[in-house]
Structure 1
Amino acid sequence: MEDVKISIASVTQLFGYENAKTHQCKVLEEIIRGNDVLLCSPTGSGKSFCYSALPFVLEHLSTGIAAPTCNIVLVITPLLSLMQEQTKSLNQKKLNATYIGKTGDDNDLRSGKFNIVFSSPETVLTTHRQMLLSNPYQKSVKAVFVDESHCIEKWGHTVGGESVPFREHYARIGELRSILPMSVPMIALTATASKKTRATIINDLHMKVPVLVDLGVNKPNIRYTVIKTKQGFRDVDALFSIFVPIIEELKIKKIEASRTIVFCRRRSHCRDLYEMFMTALGVEAYDATCKHVDDRGRFVAMFQQGTDVDVKESVMSSFADPNGVIRVLFSTIAFGMGMDVKGLQTVIHLGPPADLDDYLQETGRAGRDSLKQSFAILLKYSHSTSRTSESMKEYISGNKCRRKTLMINSFLLLYLLILKKKSFYDPKFNRNASFFNRFFLYYK
């Protein structure tokens, strides 16, 4: 595989990086071997590099030149906003990417002229199913990536007594096996997945003895805290008392204030907090040095399903920049999966999410800078756990180390595999001598 390593190194430099990460190289090598792969790695670890680089690596292996190619990589992703953001980012890097449904791209899309094609499972399995059977796609699709693959378990199957799945096509992504040549490998990407979720991913994607590349989810620089209160937060005064320190920090530090996301279970909390901060800050809610006297110059923002598209774009743009103007964001789960979040130091949950997978996914937005202390704070209020999993309830009420509870839930399968299978340990991450450290497991 020495020639593969050389090709990966050449493409990595083309992308402007000095070296590819060990897990990125491993994923690319296994794809070239024709193997299915399940990659579990934290937010910000560079999962997208794998599908961005693959067409170029294959071309370099074939011709010795790392250049745009006729190779196609299909990427299944859950949200239109993610497709738009990823396409824009890749296009800015001069990479030939699009998403199914983008205005003006349909003819070139059907002709197979894009190297990276994003789609929802619904679209690719219905309106564009026939396109995959066409000659350009039968010849040129080299891999299928399923980003945010934990959605297969959460959205493709019934949960909590529901009669139908939220998005049933997620459980049908494996049908792509019968549409594309059987030799096309399937790669599942996720930041976190419990043992049950991993088993569902492997089963539903019909993965053929997949290679597991697992970096774990432990971020030693994130401090986990649960604050319990009997308040129901039905009035603004109760909310205000909790968030006064953040308001005061914004008044003093302004653009230098630490970046915080507050995830709210209720849209009313999201709205109330935003209005409370704007009222308390007044003119100090705006960056005096910013040329825009509108939402683009505010230190505080709100992001939920009904938020205006232009405002959403402004928020996503700000968070993609570690020095972006927005310092505090109040959001529902609409701002979560796959978002490019930089410089985030604190994640606050006003009420717990449904399960620990969701909690790890959302808190994982923080802690990208391993040298800075970050915080994950969960505010448990009256009746806020009525629709949460047993593992989430245990995390909140338990008297054990919270990090240990999180990691045991996520790593039980990993631990069992370590006992039974060959493993490779990367000493670079040796911060805690336990199985919660980051491992790569390859099982055949």
Structure 2
Amino acid sequence: MAAPSANCEDERYCMALSAYNRQHKKDIKEFKPLQQKALDALVGGADCICCLPTGFGKSQVYEMLPFVDPNSLVVVVVPLNAIIAQQIQKLGSMAICLSKGKDLPTNHIADGTVRYIFTHPEDILNNRKITDFFRQDNVKRLNTYLVIDKAHFLKELKHMGASFPITVIYCKSIQWIGYGYEMARQILEDSFYAGEKTPENARVVMFHSSMENSSGKLKDMILGKLQTPPETCCLRLVFASVALGMGADLKHIQRVIHAGPPTTLETYVQEIGRSRRAESQAQAILYFNNNDLAVAHMQTNMKEYCRSDKCKRLLINEYFGFSNTSKPKICCNVCQPDLGLEWKFTQLSLYGILPT
């Protein structure tokens, strides 16, 4: 393993990084500035909100805590089983998963063998066994760090119900689709279904190419619901791949979100074109960072669309050879910044809205 970089000025952080690299067979030479800023806040006893792009290294912040603070216990509340399983596998004997009915390995926590506890929100809230555990003297002497992964978007669906706009989230892989769907089930709980627990009553569904190998009934059911007026349709959120929308007239989609840009502007326009078929106002929201734009097959036209400060509608019209005729009252976040925020985390993350 390589030694930490000379830029690692804080001796405590240098030693922690060396120990982390040895434990996990990594070759990380230094912290990113925002990672170190978060660690400074946490070790200093302050609360910290880490709002950073996918792949930036947010998990590494809490993974590093036991190496920076040897007297620490990190409790991570996560809604996704997949993430918990990955972290348990990565952290090995230093981590456990806490679930209802499972006994806590108190001795292993007290002697420092277990440094991370992963759990679901419902397994830790209103759990008397957990409360009693944290009141024990040998646990109270530890510096306990609480890490919470919140999902505001799905909480919005839970509270808005039928008033939540019919939304499609295009994901870059089936794995991402699965993560989103599982998170929805965890957060919505009893609100996941509108009535009996049947596929027809699900408020959230997945749609991807693998469904074409089945009988096709579920796929046809989803497409049929997306052509049904919102007031008579319980479906509100679809986690989808590019398979959704090919050749289908989906009239009632009101919002299209991309979790990462497609590689071409043609694909992007085709996918946001799933919305506003019923002549109602709709939104197209695109999340991306510089890593997304650096992929091998990302075309220049898509990069320009993401990075340009030029009117988004004008860029699309010019690319496809159309004159920019009368501009609508609501255009894009460049023309009307009040439509949404553009967040720039040291130029690593951008957020844009384009009404379609």
TM-score of the superposed pair, with normalisation by structure 1: 0.41
Larger RCO, structure (CA 8 Å, separation 6 or more): 1
Give the greater-gyration-radius structure (CA): 2
Normalised by the size of structure 2, how large is the TM-score? 0.49
